[in-house]
Amino acid sequence: MNIVFPIFDGVTQLDFTGPAQMFSMLPGANVYVAATSLSPIPTDCGFSIGPNITFEDCPDADILCIPGGYGTALACGNPAFMRFVELKASNAKWITSVCTGMFVLGKLGLLKGKRVTSHWAFTDLIAECGGIYEPGRFVVDGNIITGGGVTAGLDFALKVMAVVAGEETAKNAQLLLEYDPCPPFDSGNRETASKMTLDSILSMAEDSVQEMREVLR
């Protein structure tokens, strides 16, 4: 089973390393982290990650997973990246994304009429690429599976595993990786966060949201 993660400058590493850790436990899994070359790709948290295959050499995907990050808008304007995603999506069994990675799929017209989710700060833009926003850590609509922001990729990955290989496979991965979250604060979504916290994050995300809006239009 080929699992393909196309990555780009400014990618959020947890958007794909979390699901990659989970997906590596699928039966017969081959995890490919693909880019235009094998040169290290800078993430949005200060270190780089090395792809293990180039776009040119990457095989077809059973599961195609597009991560997000501050570099998503630039990735949407990168012809080589977008051609690769479009090509692999054309025959992938499952087309998936985490966080703002869904806007890459939306820019390619793959989400029209589909129920999808994304990072909460960007959900107002989903309609601009033809998608229908549905709240949730993950949303399944046919062979399109989308995940919310960053850490939601772990819940998303477990759901993908359950859909693809059955619940027991997913439950085994959850236990082995001791995924039993118990955060010290209840501020992980906009409904429970304080107004001070919410306003702070909205201010931080404002430029990225505007950049993505311009890309979609």
Residues that are catalytic: 99
DSSP 40-105: -EEBTTS-EE--SEETTTPPP-SEEEE--BTTHHHHHT-HHHHHHHHHHHTT-SEEEEEGGGHHHH
Integer Cα distance of 1 and 150 in angstroms: 24
Q: Name the residue type at position 208.
A: S
Length of the chain counted residue by residue: 217
Integer Cα distance of 44 and 137 in angstroms: 22
Task: Sheet with 53-54: list strands edge to edge.
Answer: 53-54, 30-35, 2-6, 63-66, 94-98, 144-147, 138-141
